[in-house]
Amino acid sequence: MVFLALLDGTVTAFVLALIALGLSLVFGVMRIVNVAHGEFFMLGAVLSWFAYHWTGDALWGFILALLVAPVIVGVIAVLSERYILRKVHYNPESTIVATIGILYVIQQLTLMLFGPEARPVEAPIYFRVVFPWFGYSGYKLLVAAMSGLCLCGVWILMKRSKLGLYMRATQQDHEIATTFGVPTKKIYASVFALGGGLAALAGVLVVPIRQADHLMGLEPLLLSFIVVIIGGLGSLRGTIIAAFLIGISDGIISVFYEPTLAKMLATLFVVMILIIKPGGLFGESPQ
């Protein structure tokens, strides 16, 4: 029982880390909270359905979605960065209001084009892993593995590439970075696109385990808020550690407590962390 809770929690943690990573990057580099982040995730899932529907084949649809969805969402992210966020000068509070607006726009446009119902997307592979007294979805394990790969990818990008260097420089001090010739405007756009693309990628990976619907963005948004806060606003390592902490403890807690109570306690816990330690558990600096 505890083993299964751990297993399920680990899968949740991987997915959660991937979703929260984008939010964390955006917050870290740009110092803004993107409330529309959950909608980027939702778009990934919905685009995945379109890919599946269009190709008519689970595997090819999945591959197509994997390649195309992050790009499309990235473009949408860049456009909203260029025409909305830049216009409000990345003022933290205005950005929140603006991204709430973007949230509604994306959600309602999806409702128009996609319809209100939840639609299933077939998994590219389907097998059941059998343990002595219960079974588990093989695809879920695959999702965890692929999320892990993506996380590594982002990590390498941040530490080894020029873009990553620029991003880290901008994160530390935006003005000094500008003086040293870092094209901060372009960096902002790429970070926002990268954040959106990661969320979309998570959406594509997750959708075969659940279904695509236009309201699915809210829950991952709240969860990744929790993760990002506990991990320390803007700290990548913290985000990943926190995702595992939350994913696994959520898996275990909800086995023993009633789910609503578990959620309540988790939310309250986050609030307390923010109040006592505004920088988060692994935060580099309180802002």
Q: Does 211 bind another protein (CB under 8 A)?
A: yes
Q: How far is the CB of 83 from another protein (least distance, A)?
A: 8
Q: How far is the CB of 43 from another protein (least distance, A)?
A: 15
User: Which positions from 131 through 170 interact with another protein, judged by CB under 8 A?
Assistant: 133-137
List all residues 6 or more positions away from 257 whose beta carbon is below 8 Å from its beta carbon.
Answer: 265
- Specify the residue, 4 or 142, whose C-beta has the smaller distance to another protein: 4
List all residues 6 or more positions away from 284 whose beta carbon is below 8 Å from its beta carbon.
Answer: 232, 234, 235
Candidate ranges 71-79, 160-168, 187-195, 222-230; the one touching another protein (CB under 8 A): 222-230
Q: How far is the CB of 176 from another protein (least distance, A)?
A: 22
- Specify the residue, 168 or 263, whose C-beta has the smaller distance to another protein: 263
User: Which positions from 1 through 20 interact with another protein, judged by CB under 8 A?
Assistant: 1, 4-5, 8-9, 12
Please give the Cα distance from 274 to 269 (Å, whole number).
9
Q: Which of 29, 201, 229, 241 binds another protein (CB under 8 A)?
A: 229
CB 61 within 8 A of CB 69: no
CB 46 within 8 A of CB 61: no
Partner residues linked to 128 by β-bridges = 137
Binding mask 245-284 for another protein (x = CB under 8 A): ------x--xx--xxxx-xx--xx-xx--xx--x------
Phi, psi of 211 (to 5 degrees): -125, 165
Q: Which of 75, 100, 149, 176 binds another protein (CB under 8 A)?
A: 100
Which 3 state secondary structure label does DSSP give 89?
coil
Q: How far is the CB of 163 from another protein (least distance, A)?
A: 25
User: Which positions from 47 through 76 interact with another protein, judged by CB under 8 A?
Assistant: none
Q: Give the total of residues touching another protein (CB under 8 A).
A: 72
Burial per residue of 148-171, b for 16 or more beta-carbon CB atoms within 10 angstroms, e otherwise: eebbeebeeebeeeeeeebbbbbb
* Pairing label, strands 211-212, 128-131: unpaired
Which run of H or E residues covers position 134? strand 134-137
Candidate ranges 81-89, 147-155, 169-177, 190-198; the one touching another protein (CB under 8 A): 81-89
